[in-house]
Amino acid sequence: MPALSDRRPQLGVWKFASCDGCQLTLLDCEDELLGIAEQVEITYFLEASSAPGPGPYDLSLVEGSVTTAEDTERIQHIRAASDRLVTIGACATAGGVQALRNYADVAEFQAAVYARPDYIDTLATSTPISAHVPVDFELRGCPIDRGQLIEVITAYLAGRTPDVPAHSVCFECKRRGTVCVTVAHGTPCLGPVTHAGCGALCPAYNRGCYGCFGPSNSTNFPSFIPLLRRDGMDTLDVVRVLRTYNTAAPEFDAAVRKELPG
Amino acid sequence: MTHGESKVLRVASLARVEGEGALHLRIHDGEVAEARLKIYEPPRFFEAFLRGRSSTEPPDITSRVCGICPVAYQMSACRALEDARDIVVGERLAALRRLLYCGEWIESQTLHIYFLHAPDFLGGDSIIDLARTHRTQVERGLALKQAGNAIVELLGGRAIHPVNARVGGFHRVPTRAELRPLEERLRRARDDAEATVRWVAGFDFPDTGIDNELLALAEPGTYAIDSGTPTAMTAPSSAGLPADTDRALPTRTFPLATFPDHVIETQVPHSTALHSRLDGRRHLTGTLARYAISGRWLPPDVLQVAGDAGLGDPRAGTVCRNPFRSIIIRAVEVLYAVGEALRLIDTYEPPPRPYVDVPDRAGTGHGATEAPRGLLYHRYTLDTDGTVTEAALVPPTAQNQAAIEQDLLHTVQERLRTGPHPTDAELTALCERVIRNHDPCISCSAHFLDLSVDRD
Ligand code: SF4
Ligand code: SF4
């Protein structure tokens, strides 16, 4: 029998409503994938393996948001079977783009897409995993960043807290030496209120940040919104940009509610 | 199977596909009465919430339909939104878009070949298993996929949901010098891609064929990726031929603007993905269809490799209708995309501006491109200030679902007739293989396998 220390930690990768992009990030770690697989046993990962193991899992990575009655039960089972549970991506962390239904009439949405909405089983809301079960760590991004994902996995294997900074994209812009698109070109940019992680990608490509990593740890919307207006955004634009990939993030949601009349 | 035997089989989830789904088989007296592919990926309502968004937003938003082919969504969206305003981007921008798309083809098709499909032929449940028995090959696959990702990352900023594409072109275009480091990598990738074709050509393929129409974009003179005219090839049965005939059959084309008149979506009770029919008939898009329709325009060196791999010569009217062999065609497509990327880099001239202006105007626009999994169609109606008032997305898997069900029915039937009584596990494995042959992407609903068999 192998010694206890020979038992590799068990990793589970789970999916709820999502685009698969965050799980794919794990498969996109081409240089590290085989190394990771030597250190952990990838026990459950349907996208990559047809031999799901029963658990329990030392670490579960959960992608996607909760949108069906069945999902609300499945996440309870996953939580119960997992020592640590980390959500990966905007869907799992803030409801994802599909949380736009939370502000709409879902029956009308169903009717717009499906001729027979009665065949479709869905909840009226798309909610983050943390709305249903305790979560040990939330990794931001739509999609998540490969480097941060590896940090999270190795940190949990080493039994420490992941080192994922919660400052804003602006910090990363400065570090990268990118010229600020707002200052230089008057381009509206969500960098000041958006969580770091992407390495300030959009400004490096000459566009404003559209907030795909969700809110940073200290957002100051009262002074930020006027900046967006100065750069030409009207109320509708502000609402649209905050209500996209991280629409159910409390900070973005509160800012939008302030903007909307009534 | 004994007369009147009745049985129900359930398998919890289908693996190594993108998304979630289930399969229901009804077997009566040893005959398959029904095969239903159930896509139970929860609906995400993109078409509903695109209404009211600005005309600049669909490329970024629809890329979130699918993390496996975000570029395809971005490109089909851009084309449709430009079409609504009667804008065609210039050659240099179009070339850069094609380069970005080649990157996605390389990484996505390689993902399917090595991660999802190869374990079916070699035994093993995942690429991790394969790495134990086929280390060199797996490392080659990883390097090849990485080469595709490198293109998307350079042009788009990141491999999943790249940020650089926009209506009218790009936010920023690279200099010639910036593209140069890709060359060296792609030259190595060309060797890896060629070795991949030879490798997969040596797998063991059952003899079988599919009987449905094939639909792909065609752009005479080139292998269509980022544009073209919808072109359909007749199904063998309509021509009185067996499903596995390797003869090219007559084709017909229709203008993209009439796509909604030809490809009609209907909803079936068992799936969140809509089914569609091409002029009332089952059709298949994707690798087999593309190769049948555009194969003859592949460059001679690629055709040579394809011929050596047993695919015959498309210029002489040979087509492949064996879905198991789609893995070879996929590998040929990767080889093509690597060569095409090298050509595009070699001839690249930075466009004068990163994008052309696309002034707002009311109208409806259609856009279709060849996603790695097949023809992806977008339609948007815009009002005068550029607000989207209506959006329609027809992903390849939704189109392929009926053809996949037919293929399942046929394959299970063959198995019941010819082999010894299959166990439920054997049936499941067989069905999963059949489904994976078609590389369905079910996150678009749009996902995999929960098999239930009713035997009565
Ligand atoms: S967070 Fe974004 S990238 Fe991740 S699964 Fe959701 S839609 Fe895809
Ligand atoms: S700059 Fe903003 S929108 Fe762009 S990738 Fe980073 S977090 Fe996402």
The DSSP element (H or E) to which A88 belongs, if any, is strand A82-88
At B27 the three-state DSSP class reads: strand
Ligand 2 closest atom vs CA A203: 1
Phi–psi pair at A145, nearest 5 degrees: -90, 135
At B369 the three-state DSSP class reads: strand
| Distance (Å) of CA A24 to CA A63, A155, B118, B272, B323 | 10, 20, 18, 22, 25
Between A124-128, A134-138, B295-299, B318-322, the lowest mean confidence (pLDDT) is in A124-128
Question: CB distance B111–A27 less than 8 Å?
Answer: yes
Spacing of C-alpha B330 from chain mean position: 10
pLDDT of the residue at A221: 95
CB B226 within 8 A of CB B94: yes
- In this predicted structure, the answer to whether residue B20 has a pLDDT above a threshold of 80 is no
Domains in chain B and their CATH numbers? 6-40+399-440 (no CATH), 46-204+344-361 (1.10.645.10), 213-321 (no CATH)
Amino acid at B10: R
Question: Residue B19: pLDDT band by 50, 70, 90 thresholds?
Answer: low
pLDDT of the residue at B17: 59
d(CA B291, CA B320): 8
Please identify among residues 98-157 of chain A the ones whose CB lies closer than 8 Å to any CB of chain B. 98, 100-101, 104, 106, 108-110, 112-116, 119-120, 122, 142-143
**pLDDT (tens digit, 0 to 9) for every residue of chain A, 262 residues total?**
344 456 789 999 999 999 999 999 998 888 888 888 888 888 777 766 665 667 789 999 999 999 988 899 999 999 999 999 999 999 999 999 999 988 887 777 777 766 656 656 678 889 999 999 999 999 999 999 999 999 999 998 888 999 998 899 999 999 999 989 998 899 999 999 999 999 999 999 999 999 999 999 889 999 999 999 999 999 999 999 999 999 999 999 999 999 887 6
User: How much is the ipTM here?
Assistant: 0.93
Planar angle of CA A50, A53, A55, nearest 5 degrees: 150
CB B76 within 8 A of CB B376: yes
At A227 the three-state DSSP class reads: helix
Q: Which two tokens stand for residue B74?
A: 């971005």
d(CA A111, CA A117): 6
pLDDT of the residue at A157: 83
Alpha-carbon Rg for chain A, nearest whole angstrom, is 20
pLDDT of the residue at B259: 95
Question: CB distance B131–A34 less than 8 Å?
Answer: yes
**Is B47 labeled as ligand-binding?**
yes
d(CA A238, CA A217): 20
CB A126 within 8 A of CB B58: no
CB atoms closer than 10 angstroms to residue B305: 20
Which ligand is located closest to the Cα atom of residue A94?
1
At B188 the three-state DSSP class reads: helix
CB atoms closer than 10 angstroms to residue B385: 10
Find residue B394's DSSP bridge partners: B377
Question: Residue B11: pLDDT band by 50, 70, 90 thresholds?
Answer: very low
Mutate to test the pocket of ligand 1, among A14, A15, A22 (most ligand atoms within 8 A of CB): A22
Which ligand is located closest to the Cα atom of residue A188?
2
Name chain A contacts of B50, Cβ cutoff 8 Å: none
Minimum Cα–Cα distance from A144: chain B residue? B160
CB B411 within 8 A of CB B432: no
Distance from CA of B312 to the nearest CA of A (A): 32
Distance from CA of A42 to the nearest CA of B (A): 9
Kindly give the distance from the C-alpha atom of residue A28 to the centroid of ligand 1, in angstroms, as a whole number: 14
Q: State the pTM of this model.
A: 0.93
